[in-house]
Structure 1
Amino acid sequence: MLGKIVSFLKNRRIWWYEPKRAALHEQCPCCDYLSLPERGADLICPICFWEDDGQDLDNVDVPSGPNHAITLRQGRNNFHSFGACEKEMVKYVIPDHERSKFTHQPRHL
């Protein structure tokens, strides 16, 4: 049995997602930085660690499945409070001094 599992794992192909545009032109709905190559592709923002499922400011109070059922409003408030969409994600976001490499276009609810 173990031999079959090892054989399967050796022959398995790994598919890597590559965005259509490599440049960061899309605004994260949580932190408002232009940090995503495209919207709605479940990409994770390096600034706030929100997983973009396509939700935007027109649905701020709908729980987001990929983001542990927090709402976009909660994620935005968390980002303003401590720099990530959730406390557990603070250790994964890029440092504050690197944010200057990204364009920030703040929006208000």
Structure 2
Amino acid sequence: MLTDRAARPSTGLPSSIPPGFRSDTIPGAARCLLVGCHGRLTGVIQQAVDRCPCCGYRTGCTTCPVCFWTDDGRRDADAGMVAGGPNGDVSLSDARLNFAIYGASHRRYQDVVRQPRSDELP
């Protein structure tokens, strides 16, 4: 005898999500952008992703793949301060200038950065 759970094809989603659920039917919810999701994730609402303080792209990563700046909490008020840490001897102001010139927060990272995707544009 098959149970309800065994009768459903495996989707990799939690079992609390009813078959055929679509998040785009919820008022205020955006269409899910995950490939293959088809809007079945419960409560998926598109949220703003943090911008990188160096390049400004919306990667939402601690270490930005577009400029390779590691977000250490510095912002415009203390952009000229060199604090050491994950970004070494580069201030946020210098990293922004380096990004404009080299396409990376530091010249040495030119080979590890990538172009921003369309969904990461400011």
Identify the residue that residue 26 of structure 2 maps to in structure 1: none
Structure number having the greater helix percentage: 1
Structure number having the greater strand percentage: 1
Structure-2 change in CA distance of 1:101 and 1:56 (3 Å): same
Helix, strand or coil for the counterpart of 1:91? coil
For 1:16-95, list aligned pairs within 5 A.
25-37=49-61, 43-64=62-83, 65-95=85-115
Please identify the structure whose Cα radius of gyration is greater.
2
List runs of 5+ in structure 1 lacking aligned partners: 1-22, 38-42, 105-109
Question: Deviation of residue 35 (structure 1)?
Answer: 1.1
Structure-2 change in CA distance of 1:24 and 1:86 (3 Å): farther
For the Cα contact (< 8 Å) 1:36–1:45, is it kept in 2?
Answer: yes
User: Following the alignment from structure 2 to structure 1, what is the Cα–Cα distance between the partners of residues 105 and 97?
Assistant: 8
Question: Deviation of residue 24 (structure 1)?
Answer: 6.9
Give the letter aligned to residue 33 of structure 1. Y
Question: Deviation of residue 45 (structure 1)?
Answer: 0.3
RMSD: 1.8
Moved over 4 A (4+): none
Give the letter aligned to residue 30 of structure 1. C
Helix, strand or coil for the counterpart of 2:100? helix
Structure-2 change in CA distance of 1:24 and 1:87 (3 Å): farther
Structure-2 change in CA distance of 1:100 and 1:48 (3 Å): same
List runs of 5+ in structure 2 lacking aligned partners: 1-46
User: Following the alignment from structure 1 to structure 2, what is the Cα–Cα distance between the partners of residues 51 and 72?
Assistant: 10
Q: Which has the higher contact order (CA 8 A, sep 6+)?
A: 1
